Amino acid sequence: MQVTAEEFSSTRHELPDGGRWTELVEGRPVVLDPPDEIYGTIVLNLSKAIGTAMRADRSIDAAPCFDLGIQTLHDPDTIRFPAAVAFRGGDRFGEVGEVIADRVPEVAIEIAADPQRRLHCAERILEYHDAGVGAVWVIDPHEQALTIAPREGLPAIYREDDPLVPLIDLELAVTIEDLFAIPKWYR
């Protein structure tokens, strides 16, 4: 039995782990493997870099979100949950508490940390682009690299000592290598 995006959104919390690792793919809930430690480390480092950049320049017109669904296909519906998304304009906290975004993000960030997430990366990039997402970042801990796939143009790969490119207008003052570093307080 297929479910719609609306039905999925209203019942996601009833799924195992509150639906945290569940996406809707062509109308069917699909449970992903829970992310590993490196996935969490990358999200932590990325969120810290974003927070630092937003505090440094409060005039920036960007709104990043974590764990927010993006509807990429309709009839049957597909809802993907990238590690993070960033919107241009609008209320910085307008998406807080939502399961599915009401608008299309400028950037979707995927972390290819495990075989399941790596396997479907190309498919997800195409879905995001078809849905109108401007660029997809794929952070790959195995390659210690960031690939940015714009909707128009060729992908670019950044490695190790390369600085992290701006996220919309946010200047993130870290290198690619910094994304993979275990925080000193955690050791």
Q: Encoding tokens for residue 133? A: 């997402």
Q: What is the pLDDT of residues 122-169, one digit of tens each?
A: 999 999 999 999 999 999 999 999 999 999 999 999 998 888 777 766
What element of type H or E holds 159?
strand 156-159
Give backbone dihedrals phi and psi of 121, rounded to 5 degrees, phi first.
Answer: -60, -50
How far is residue 65's CA from residue 69's CA, in Å, rounded to a whole number?
A: 10
CA 34 to CA 114: how far, in whole Å?
9
- Give residue 173's pLDDT: 78
pTM over 0.75: yes
**To 10 degrees, the CA torsion angle through 83, 86, 92, 98?**
-50
8 A C-beta contact, residue 83 and residue 66 = yes
Q: How far apart are CA 162 and CA 87, in angstroms?
A: 24
pLDDT (average), residues 18-43: 92
Task: Give the model's confidence band at 172: pLDDT under 50 very low, under 70 low, under 90 confident, else very high.
Answer: confident
For 127-151, give the DSSP string. HHHHHT-SEEEEEETTTTEEEEEES
Secondary element (H or E) of residue 70:
strand 70-73
| Segment 24-47 mean pLDDT | 93
* Per-domain boundaries in the chain: 34-70+79-186
| Topology of the domain covering 34-70+79-186 | tt1808, chain A (3.90.1570)
pLDDT band at 93 (very low <50, low <70, confident <90, very high): low
Write the CB contacts of 66 (distance below 8 Å, at least 6 apart in sequence).
Answer: 43, 47, 83, 84
Q: Which residue has the higher pLDDT, 64 or 134?
A: 134
